[in-house]
Amino acid sequence: MTLKLPIRSADVLDGSYNAGLRDEMAFGNGDLIRSLEALGIAGPFKTVSPWELEDAQRQKKINTGGYAAIPFGDQYPPLIEFLQGFLARDRSIGLPQQSASHWRAALETNLVALLAQFAPSHADSRVFFSNSGAEAIETALKFVKAARPKAKEIINFKGAYHGKTFGALALTPNNEYQEMFRPLMPNVTTLPYGDLEAFETALRKLGADAICAVIVEPTQGEAGVISPQAGFLAGVGDLCRKNGILVIADEIQTGLGRTGHYFASLAAGLEPDLVTLAKPLGGGMVAIGATIARKQIFNKTLAGFSSKRHSNTFGGNSMAMAIGMRCLELIIEEDLPSRSARLGQMALECFLPLKDKYPALLEDVRGAGLLIALQFRTVLPPKIIPGLEELVGELSGALGVRMIYEGGVIANFSLSSKRVARFTPALNMPEDVFERFISSVENTIIAYKTANTMLRRMPLDRLYRLGRLGFAK
């Protein structure tokens, strides 16, 4: 029997295969693609420049999507050139699971050195590599559980997003994602984000000996770019340090420049015991996650003959390590945290007045560096359809993303804040492109003026298809 696959890799590479939209609906996460197609934002896209894409109708769009995972845009030439050199010249094994690795060792060293420049107490910390942010969180959970085995409780915060793998999902308090998979990991206490008094109350109620760790995002991205009031993170850190409670800083979205800092937690006065990283470290080219932990915490899990107690087949692979090294270098060489802070402030200064001018469309504008959010009003009165308030909110956010797309900009949905469109432009986006992004969004807001207009301008057939998907189980 001679097997023949229906599609050749060469067909995809040379562009002769163009049925990606159809085949994704048939064989992949079809309803996700149907939702995007109904909104008219499904692609597929081609790269015009690292910061601009072309859709199937050959219209150019400024890309501020990517969920903070493309710090240099798509196919950034210096990163492509480095990868080509790596593939041509490197002779190390690809998956050095049971051997030393120059690439892995070099990135471990550089990450610890970078962290130690802002937190000297981490100078002898250790790094464990995985393939994603969620895996980095899973690793951190195992580390803190091993380090404080008698303390069972993990404290997280409302609005948090730490991933959807099983342990990470227990720390992501979103009923839509959790409900079907309960019972989840037990002993998770969820507190209001930014409320230091509530944290102090929980500390007294539970007792310090019962609390294993606190996990916190310096700015909550998926919640709609929510930053806590000044002093909250530092206060949590002080209380944890005094009571021997470990702190995990989830810097997967906020770290390495996105919010204007290498480590947003440290900039806010929190010195965590563990830091999780991912998105920008892969440069939009490879899958990578990293968990940095203090030496004594790391060794509680991975010491002696138990050093294989936690492992990862592809984590630490040579290509990911090489790309991670070059990404760190580019972030530093191009001073991207400072650039992010400056451009983010420029965007806020332009977007904030729109909230006052068009209050029937925009409810709020928020930002932390180049992590920027527009929160929309609902396209219908929230209680017009009893019991479907959340669905109306989700529709409002989806139509907001569509509206911005029609204006020439690709934005992100916010998974834990349905009425928010989030912008995560490349940290190195040229200023002329960045200014066009700002003016495109401004012009779109001015053209629509009200949330209801987003609904009225949605073609009925597309709205019908969205409605069917919204009620699908």
What is the rounded average pLDDT for all residues in the chain? 95
How much is the pTM? 0.96
Write down the pLDDT at residue 385: 67
In this structure, which topology does domain 21-75+336-470 adopt according to CATH? Aspartate Aminotransferase, domain 1 (3.90.1150)
Q: Check whether 473 has a pLDDT greater than 70.
A: no
Q: What is the pLDDT of residue 472?
A: 73
Residue 417 has pLDDT above 90, yes or no: no
Q: Which of 213, 268, 444, 464 is nearest to 350 (CA)?
A: 444
Residue intervals of the chain classified under CATH 3.40.640.10 are: 90-333
The CATH architecture annotation of domain 90-333 reads 3-Layer(aba) Sandwich (3.40)
**Residue 59 identity (one-letter amino acid):** Q
When pLDDT is averaged across residues 344-365 and rounded to a whole number, the result is 97
Closest Cα to residue 403, out of 464, 348, 445? 445
Structure tokens at 28: 């992949």
pLDDT of amino acid 415: 72
Share of the chain above pLDDT 70, in %: 99
Residues 6 or more apart from 14 whose CB is under 8 A from it? none
CB neighbours (10 Å) of residue 434? 21
Distance, in Å, from the CA atom of 92 to the CA atom of 107, rounded to the nearest integer, reads: 15
Q: 466 pLDDT exceeds 90?
A: no
For residue 387, pLDDT beyond 70: no
The mean pLDDT value for 59-77 works out to 97
Phi, psi of 385 (to 5 degrees): -120, 95
At 314 the pLDDT is 96
For the chain, give every residue range classified as CATH 3.90.1150.10: 21-75+336-470
- Is the confidence at residue 29, as pLDDT, over 90? yes
Q: In what order do the strands lie in the sheet with 409-410?
A: 46-49, 52-54, 60-63, 409-410
Parallel, antiparallel, or unpaired: how do β-strands 246-250 and 409-410 relate? unpaired
Is it the case that residue 345 has pLDDT exceeding 70? yes
Instruction: List all residues 6 or more positions away from 123 whose beta carbon is below 8 Å from its beta carbon.
Output: 112, 116
Are 405 and 40 a contacting pair, CB within 8 Å?
yes
If one counts every other C-beta atom within 10 angstroms of the C-beta of residue 92, the result is 15
Alpha-carbon dihedral 123, 128, 132, 134, rounded to 10 degrees: -90
Q: Render pLDDT for 205-256 as a digit per residue (tens, 0 to 9).
A: 999 999 999 999 999 999 999 999 999 999 999 999 999 999 999 999 999 9
